[in-house]
Structure 1
Amino acid sequence: MEIEQQIAKDLLDIKAVTLSPDEPFQWVSGIKAPIYTDNRLTIGYPEIRLHITSGLARLIMQKYPTVSAIGGVVTAGIPHAASVADRLGLPLCYVRSQPKDHGKGKQVEGYLDKNAKVVLIDDLISTGGSVLKAAEALQKEGFEVLGVAAIFTYELPAGSDNFKKAGLPLVTLTNYSALIEQAERSNILTSDEKEDLLTWRKDPWGWR
């Protein structure tokens, strides 16, 4: 099984992803969504952690071969970033959502060489807001950010636009389209529900 399908199956198997087109979830942004994702669950499953670590490590070396450091986005990106940094033998840092309000007021934690070329890891991409803010924090401190690697993306148009505006590439292990296909193959979704879910991704604000 290819990594895209394997990770999609993993997320569905442990219910890190819940699909509910008939009773949508309310996101903080105000969007009503037929999907809810909690990839923090993955750290409790050693075999799935291994799939994610090995998959991200391969993907990063393929897409960002000059990488010299790994960064984790608070909080869900940190455990995966740590595992990938260990696998690749690279330095690790993590980026707070905002600078500390005490001590030295740091936002980037850990030590990186001033010439570090960083790949940021996050668990989930919707519009990309949090990880792109983390990238900005690293850039302000003089580090080069090569791009972002994540477990899963909703493939929302706003997310694609935001990464383009930031001038940063994004690579993911799996995505919304692959997950929906896997859910249909596993008889979690009917064909009508599948079409409804694909319609949501195209226009999440206007859906229903």
Structure 2
Amino acid sequence: MQNNEIIRQLIDKKIVTISPDKDFVYASGMHSPIYTDLRQTISFPKLRQAIAENLAALIKQEFPEVTVIGGVATAGIPHAAWVAQVMNLPMVYVRSKPKDHGQGRQIEGRLSMDDHIVLIDDLISTGGSVLSAVQAVKETGAHVDGVSSIFTYLLPDADENFKKADTKFAPLLNYRELIEQEIAETVSEEQYKELLAWHQDPWNWKR
């Protein structure tokens, strides 16, 4: 399954929803004409397999020294498991914070200082949560080669945050690809302009 087919599946299955009339409001308070719920991908075997295979191919290309695949809690964990299986690599996952009991681990699985890890999350908006996981892995002494995701909005905040963290980011799908594909299929020219306007200034966007 090619990336454009994955995008089509995400929209057809209403995992990605473009709203022509009513804004979505994110937890951050940002208003948007698009909502992405990639957690739903786990319910569709063919789709999740295609995502895993395409992510694995991307990671091999962008991070050739990778020795461990890491999942970022919680939505990145299942996808990391499937990618690790495709690549026949070990896997770990990173909690949002250390456990408050037992051995107090934040990272589950085995890592060594010789390992090169790529962390996977489902969606990147500003990159804040995944970069916290990057920092947690770096504190173990392992080398973080970079981050990959199923989808990113390509927001300026994310670009700035990844640059500050000196961390390479390689997404499978991005917002521009999605809206360019939709303008050719289902989105009107006026709706396309709204989608583009939001992307250019999401924090100040008004429909």
TM range (shorter): over 0.9
Tell whether the 8 Å contact from 1:92 to 1:112 is kept in structure 2 after alignment: no
Partner of 1:149: 148
Q: Deviations over 1:110-160 (max 9, x none)?
A: 112331100000100000011100000000111110001110000101011
Q: What fraction of aligned residue pairs are identical, expressed as a percent?
A: 51
Q: Deviations over 1:174-199 (max 9, x none)?
A: 11011112222331x21110111111
Partner of 2:118: 119
Q: How much does 1:22 deviate?
A: 2.2
Partner of 2:159: 160
Note the 1:123-138 alignment, pairs <5 A. Answer: 123-138=122-137
Q: In the alignment, residue 85 of structure 1 is paired with which amino acid?
A: A
Partner of 1:27: 26
Secondary structure, counterpart of 2:202 in structure 1: coil
Q: How much does 1:2 deviate?
A: 4.2
Poorly superposed stretches of 4+, deviation over 3 Å: none
1:193 to 159, 178, 191: 191
Secondary structure, counterpart of 1:205 in structure 2: helix
Unaligned runs of 5+ in 1: none
Q: How many residues align?
A: 206
Tell whether the 8 Å contact from 2:112 to 2:141 is kept in structure 1 after alignment: no
Tell whether the 8 Å contact from 1:12 to 1:183 is kept in structure 2 after alignment: no
Q: How much does 1:15 deviate?
A: 0.8
Partner of 2:12: 13
Partner of 1:83: 82
Q: Deviations over 1:31-72 (max 9, x none)?
A: 011111100111111111111011000000000000000000
Tell whether the 8 Å contact from 1:21 to 1:197 is kept in structure 2 after alignment: no
Partner of 2:104: 105
Secondary structure, counterpart of 2:149 in structure 1: strand
Q: Distance in 2 between matches of 1:184 and 1:173?
A: 20
Of structures 1 and 2, the one with the larger relative CO (CA 8 A, separation 6+) is 1
Partner of 2:202: 204
Secondary structure, counterpart of 1:94 in structure 2: strand
Tell whether the 8 Å contact from 2:113 to 2:143 is kept in structure 1 after alignment: no
Q: Distance in 1 between matches of 2:39 and 2:112?
A: 29
Q: Distance in 2 between matches of 1:99 and 1:71?
A: 16
Q: How much does 1:172 deviate?
A: 1.2
Q: Give the stretch that moved more between structures: 143-152 or 21-30.
A: 21-30
Tell whether the 8 Å contact from 1:53 to 1:84 is kept in structure 2 after alignment: yes
Tell whether the 8 Å contact from 1:71 to 1:119 is kept in structure 2 after alignment: yes
Q: Distance in 1 between matches of 2:80 and 2:155?
A: 24
Q: Distance in 2 between matches of 1:193 and 1:15?
A: 18
Q: Give the alignment's TM-score, normalised by structure 2.
A: 0.96
Q: Give the alignment's TM-score, normalised by structure 1.
A: 0.96
Q: In the alignment, residue 89 of structure 1 is paired with which amino acid?
A: N
Secondary structure, counterpart of 2:204 in structure 1: coil
Q: Give the stretch that moved more between structures: 66-75 or 105-114.
A: 105-114
Unaligned runs of 5+ in 2: none
Q: Distance in 2 between matches of 1:167 and 1:8?
A: 29
Partner of 1:44: 43
